C-alpha cells in the first residue's frame, strides 16, 4: 500500500522489446556495454559510454534487467572523444570503445580483470600488475574479415558493397573505404577486390533470396614481412579469376568462411615474431596484433622464469608461437594442439628456425596430456593459452596431474580465467601474479597472463 493513499502501488513493468527509453549511462559492464537504470531496472546498452545520455531501444527484456542498443546519442559524456573510424555514418563495429580516451580504456580493463578474479574466482593475495599498453592505438590489426552486400541504389556506393554488417542488422552491409583498425596496405587490398567485383559485375550473395556469388573477404597481413594475403569466400559458381591469393567455396547458407580452399597466389602467410620466422596456413590461429603478441609472449616467458633446464608443456600451442619463443631459454618444449594442420605448421616453424629442442603432438588436451607425460615425463612448467571458454573441469584435472611447479595461463577472458585459477588453488596452487596486456585498443577485449605456483601436493578437484 502507498503511504497515505489507501491504494496499492502499481507494480513496475520490465522494459519490453522494442520499447525506447531515454537514459544516462553510469558505468561499463564486462563486455563493454554501458550500464544505465530506468525505473529501477538495469539496462545494458550497446554503444553507450559513461556520462552519455542516449535514446536506447530495448532488444531483450528480462525480469530484473534488459539489453538495449543506442539509437541516438542525445548528449555525449564529458570525457567522450570524437569517433575516428566511421563507416556509412556509423561508428566502426570493430571499435566500440573509440569514444573513450585511451587511458580510460586501460583503467577499465585493469579494473575488470581484477574484479573478475576477486568476485568470480574468490581469489586474493595475488599481485595485480599494471596493464601493458598497446604499441599502436590504431591500425594494429593483422587480420580483418569483411562481408559482401549490395550498395545503396542511386548513390556512389551502388553495386557491390564490401565492409561490415550495420549495427543490429544481419542483412545490411555498410561499405568501408578506410578502416582505421587496418593498415593502409590492408585497406588498399580490400578496395582492390571490391573494384574487381564491380568491374566484372559479380553479384554479392543474398542469403534471403539464396542467390549471388560473393560472401566474404579475409585480409591478413605479415606486419614484419609486408605480405598481404587475401582469401575470397564465394558460392560454388563460375566467376572471372579474382585478384586474391586464396579462393574458398561454400555451399548453402553457412555464414562462416570455412570450406574447400584453393591457392591462386601465395598459399602461406609469413611473419616475424620474437626474433623468429613463422609461416602459417590460412586457417591457423595467430594473434591479430603482431606487435602486442611479442609483448604478451615476453610476459609469459618472464613469468615462466626459465633457466635453460626446464621441460615445458605448451598446451593449445597452435602453430608453436609461444613454445618456440621460449625454446631458447628452456631445456625442452612439447607442444599439444588438436588441429593437425596447426601442428604441421609448428613442426615446419621449428625446422625453419633450426630449433631442435621442441616437439609437437596433435591431440586433444583432455585426452592427450596423459600420453604426453608417459612419453616426455612430467613438466616443470605448463603454459596454457585456451580459447575464450577457458579450461574444462577435465582439462584442469589433466593440468593438475602434470604436477608442474609453475603454470603460466595466457587468458583472453578473465571471467573464465577466474574459476580456472580458483580450481587450481583448491588443488594446491597459488595465484601469484597477473598482468593484463592490451591487445585490442578501442575494444573491451582483455588479455592477461597469470602465474600460478605449486605450494602443496596437488589434489585433483572433484
CATH topology of domain 143-269: OB fold (Dihydrolipoamide Acetyltransferase, E2P) (2.40.50)
Same CATH fold assignment for domains 20-80 and 107-136+289-454: no
Residue 153: per-residue pLDDT: 47
List the single range of 10-19, 143-152, 181-190 with lowest mean pLDDT. Answer: 10-19
Instruction: Return the closest-CA partner of residue 251 out of 309, 207, 293.
Output: 207
pLDDT in tens, 159-201: 899 999 887 677 789 999 999 999 999 999 999 999 999 999 9
Q: Is residue 219's pLDDT more than 80? A: yes
Task: Using the predicted structure, report yes or no on whether residue 9 has a pLDDT greater than 90.
Answer: no
Active site residue 412: yes
Q: How far apart are CA 357 and CA 327, in angstroms?
A: 7
Q: CA angle at residue 168 from 162 to 173, to 5 degrees?
A: 15
Domain boundaries, the chain: 20-80, 107-136+289-454, 143-269
Q: Which fold has domain 20-80?
A: OB fold (Dihydrolipoamide Acetyltransferase, E2P) (2.40.50)
107-136+289-454 adopts what CATH topology?
A: Rossmann fold (3.40.50)
Whether 172 contacts 183, CB under 8 Å: no
Q: Measure Cα distances from 137 to 197, 286, 410 in Å.
A: 32, 19, 22
Task: Specify which residues 261 forms β-bridges with.
Answer: 248
d(CA 7, CA 268): 74
User: Which residue out of 85, 92, 179, 412 is catalytically annotated?
Assistant: 412
pLDDT at 62: 80
pLDDT at 7 over 50: no
User: Locate cell 536506447: which residue?
Assistant: 56
Complete DSSP assignment for 86-134: EETTEE-TT-TTTTS-HHHHHHHHHHHHHHIIIIIT---S-EEPPPB--
Q: Which of 115-129, 405-419, 421-435, 443-457 is predicted least confidently?
A: 443-457
**pLDDT over 60 at 85, yes or no:** yes
CB neighbourhood size of 311 (10 A): 18
Query: Phi, psi (5° rounding) for residue 415?
Result: -75, -15
Confidence of residue 152 (pLDDT cuts 50, 70, 90): low
pTM of the predicted structure, to 2 decimals:
0.91
251-263 residue pLDDT tens: 877 667 888 999 9
Residues 6+ apart with CB under 8 A from 424: 396, 399, 400, 407, 431, 452
Beta strand 269-273 with 276-280 is antiparallel
Pull the grid cell for residue 128.
Answer: 595485480
**Most confidently predicted of 59-68, 145-154, 199-208:** 199-208
- Mean pLDDT for the stretch of residues 56-70: 88
Are 132 and 438 in contact by the 8 Å Cβ rule? The answer is yes
Amino acid at each position: 500500500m502507498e503511504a497515505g493513499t489507501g491504494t496499492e502501488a502499481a507494480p513496475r513493468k520490465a522494459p519490453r522489446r522494442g520499447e525506447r527509453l531515454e537514459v544516462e549511462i553510469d558505468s561499463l559492464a564486462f563486455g563493454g556495454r554501458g550500464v544505465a537504470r530506468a525505473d529501477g531496472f538495469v539496462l545494458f546498452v550497446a554503444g553507450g559510454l559513461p556520462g552519455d545520455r542516449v535514446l536506447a531501444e530495448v532488444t531483450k527484456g528480462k525480469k530484473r534487467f534488459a539489453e538495449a542498443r543506442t539509437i541516438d546519442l542525445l548528449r555525449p559524456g564529458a570525457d567522450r572523444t570524437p569517433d575516428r573510424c566511421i563507416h556509412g555514418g556509423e561508428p566502426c563495429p570493430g571499435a566500440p570503445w573509440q569514444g573513450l580516451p585511451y587511458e580510460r580504456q586501460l583503467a577499465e580493463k585493469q579494473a575488470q580483470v581484477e574484479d573478475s578474479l576477486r568476485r568470480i574466482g574468490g581469489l586474493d593475495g595475488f599481485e595485480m600488475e599494471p596493464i601493458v599498453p598497446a604499441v599502436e592505438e590504431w591500425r594494429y590489426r593483422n587480420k580483418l574479415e569483411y562481408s559482401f552486400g549490395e550498395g545503396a541504389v542511386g548513390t556512389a556506393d551502388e553495386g557491390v558493397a564490401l565492409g561490415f554488417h550495420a549495427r543490429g542488422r544481419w542483412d545490411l552491409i555498410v561499405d568501408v573505404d578506410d578502416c582505421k583498425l587496418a593498415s593502409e596496405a590492408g585497406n588498399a587490398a580490400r578496395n582492390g577486390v571490391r573494384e574487381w567485383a564491380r568491374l566484372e559485375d559479380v553479384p554479392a550473395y543474398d542469403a534471403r533470396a539464396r542467390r549471388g556469388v560473393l560472401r566474404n573477404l579475409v585480409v591478413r597481413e605479415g606486419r614484419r614481412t609486408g605480405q598481404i594475403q587475401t582469401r575470397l569466400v564465394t558460392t560454388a559458381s563460375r566467376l572471372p579469376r579474382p585478384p586474391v591469393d586464396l579462393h574458398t567455396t561454400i555451399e548453402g547458407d553457412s555464414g562462416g568462411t570455412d570450406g574447400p580452399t584453393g591457392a591462386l597466389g601465395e598459399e602461406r602467410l609469413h611473419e616475424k615474431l620474437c626474433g623468429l620466422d613463422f609461416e602459417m596456413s590460412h586457417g591457423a590461429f595467430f594473434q591479430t596484433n603482431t606487435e602486442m603478441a611479442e609483448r604478451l609472449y615476453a610476459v609469459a616467458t618472464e613469468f615462466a622464469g626459465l633457466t635453460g633446464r626446464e621441460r615445458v608443456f605448451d598446451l593449445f600451442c597452435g602453430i608453436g608461437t609461444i613454445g618456440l619463443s621460449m625454446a631458447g631459454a628452456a631445456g625442452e618444449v612439447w607442444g599439444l594442439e588438436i588441429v593437425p594442420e596447426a601442428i604441421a605448421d609448428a613442426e615446419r616453424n621449428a625446422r625453419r628456425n633450426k630449433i631442435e629442442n621442441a616437439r609437437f603432438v596433435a591431440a586433444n588436451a583432455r585426452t592427450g596430456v596423459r600420453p604426453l607425460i608417459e612419453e616426455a615425463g612430467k613438466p616443470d612448467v605448463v603454459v596454457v593459452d585456451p580459447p575464450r571458454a577457458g579450461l574444462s573441469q577435465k582439462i584442469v584435472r589433466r593440468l593438475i596431474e602434470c604436477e608442474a611447479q609453475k603454470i603460466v595461463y595466457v587468458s583472453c577472458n578473465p571471467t573464465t580465467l577466474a574459476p580456472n585459477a580458483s580450481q587450481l588453488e583448491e588443488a594446491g596452487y597459488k595465484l601469484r601474479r597477473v598482468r593484463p596486456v592490451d591487445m585490442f585498443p578501442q575494444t573491451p577485449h582483455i588479455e592477461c597472463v597469470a602465474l600460478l605456483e605449486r605450494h602443496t601436493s596437488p589434489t585433483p578437484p572433484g
